[in-house]
């Protein structure tokens, strides 16, 4: 299990997610309020951000607890982006404490976070899951965690999907469906709170049509107009779902400057709402 948070919008500092909020990820790493199956998140942390106009994310990972990593101060102060992702980790398997198993996971324009677990993963599900992957998705797996294999399914589905605004949502939905099916076949448990970001070249016509939209509008999400357009679209997809248990907590908040998700509300301000269990929610940012 872990705690995770992310943001898409007009722009924010990384510290808003990490240690610049009353209940940011640094605090959630040692004082989580709604965490299942663990007490602290001391098995590493990581963050990812997208530079303006770039399709592939920058990534920082550490196997240190976030509170022991002095790099977080400089990173939080200097990194500003229209798209940020971060997580603190509590390893389901104590022997999996390694940098390769630390989120976020990335591939090309994709960035992925998963909070939860899949059991019995190593004993039953892992081998069948790997056999179902294409070569490129299989090569993405560098560690041995259930979360990274879940991401490999996402990559596999994304490579098969048609390009466009729905591609990220189709990829996450398809990967989740495959993972849940494997879990049910094994008579196991899968607890999922997931977030996927995709960067892509934007359709200029679609940009014009979305101008003035408010973040998170509509039941499925919405669009954010982040100002000057560099021909790039960011799609964020979040989902909570489970088999054999209750999914981990995940909250969302829509504001004038963007859209934030977090395992637990980052502050006491109004606007946080639990993400409904089931179908994914999608937000698009054009910046």
For 75, the 3-state DSSP assignment is helix
Cα 272 to Cα 120: distance, rounded to the nearest angstrom: 33
Please choose, from the candidates 121, 148, 114, the residue with its C-alpha nearest in 3D space to the C-alpha of residue 133: 148
- Would you tell me how many other CB atoms lie within 10 Å of the CB of residue 70? 9
Q: What is the DSSP string of 130-189?
A: HHT--HHHHHT--S--HHHHHHHHHHHHHHHSPSSTTHHHHHHHHHHHHHHHHHHHTT-E
CA-CA-CA-CA dihedral for 260, 263, 264, 266, to nearest 10:
-40
100-120: string of b/e by CB count within 10 Å (b at 16+)? ebbbbbbbebbbbbbbbbbbe
Per-residue pLDDT of the chain (287 residues; tens, 9 = 90+): 799 999 999 999 999 999 999 999 999 999 999 998 789 999 999 999 999 999 999 999 999 999 999 999 999 999 999 999 999 999 866 556 678 899 999 999 999 999 999 999 999 999 999 999 999 999 999 998 999 999 999 999 999 999 999 999 999 999 999 999 999 999 999 999 999 999 999 865 443 333 333 344 433 456 555 544 578 999 999 999 999 999 999 999 999 999 999 999 999 999 999 999 999 999 999 86
Q: For residue 215, what pLDDT is reported?
A: 41
Q: CA distances (Å), 194 to each of 5, 6, 17, 266, 277, in order?
A: 10, 11, 17, 18, 11
Count CB atoms within 10 A of the CB of residue 17. 26
pLDDT at site 218: 38
Query: What pLDDT is stored for residue 202 in this prediction?
Result: 81
Q: Check whether the bond before 62 is cis (ω within 30° of 0).
A: no
- The pLDDT value recorded for residue 37 is 79
Kind of pairing between the strands at 273-274 and 110-119: unpaired
What pLDDT does 204 receive?
A: 53
Q: Is 140 a catalytic residue?
A: no
Annotated catalytic residue within 2, 47, 83, 140: 2
Query: Nearest Cα to 108, choosing from 188, 171, 62, 66?
Result: 171
User: Hey, CA dihedral for 30, 112, 20, 74, is it positive or negative?
Assistant: positive
The pLDDT of residue 222: 61
Q: List domains and CATH numbers for the chain.
A: 2-286 (3.60.20.10)
User: Which pLDDT value is given to residue 286?
Assistant: 82
pLDDT value, residue 205: 41
Helix (H) or strand (E) holding 224: strand 221-225
How high is the pLDDT of residue 231? 84
């Amino acid at each position: 299990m872990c705690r995770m948070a992310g943001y898409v919008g007009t722009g924010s500092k990384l510290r808003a997610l990490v240690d610049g909020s009353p209940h940011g990820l640094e605090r959630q790493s040692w004082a989580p309020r709604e965490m299942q199956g663990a007490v602290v998140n001391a098995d590493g942390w990581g963050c990812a951000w997208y530079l303006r106009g770039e399709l592939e994310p920058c990534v920082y990972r550490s196997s240190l607890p976030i509170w022991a990593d002095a790099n977080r101060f400089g990173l939080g102060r200097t990194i500003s982006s229209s798209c940020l992702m971060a997580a603190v980790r509590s390893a389901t398997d104590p022997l999996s404490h390694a940098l390769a198993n630390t989120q976020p996971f990335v591939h090309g324009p994709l960035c992925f976070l998963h909070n939860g677990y899949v059991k019995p993963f190593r004993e039953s599900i892992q081998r069948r899951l790997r056999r179902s992957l294409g070569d490129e998705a299989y090569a993405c797996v560098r560690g041995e965690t259930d979360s990274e294999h879940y991401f490999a399914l996402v990559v596999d589905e994304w490579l098969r999907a048609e390009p466009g605004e729905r591609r990220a949502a189709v990829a996450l939905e398809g990967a989740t469906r495959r993972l849940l099916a494997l879990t049910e076949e094994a008579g196991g448990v899968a607890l999922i709170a997931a977030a996927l970001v995709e960067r892509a070249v934007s359709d200029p016509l679609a940009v014009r049509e979305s101008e003035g939209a408010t973040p998170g509008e509509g039941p499925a999400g919405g669009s954010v107009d982040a100002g000057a357009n560099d021909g790039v679209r960011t799609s964020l997809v979040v989902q909570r779902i489970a088999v054999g248990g209750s999914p981990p907590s995940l909250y969302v908040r829509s504001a004038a400057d963007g859209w934030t998700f977090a395992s637990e509300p980052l502050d006491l301000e109004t606007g946080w709402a639990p993400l409904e269990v089931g179908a994914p929610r999608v937000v698009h940012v054009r910046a």
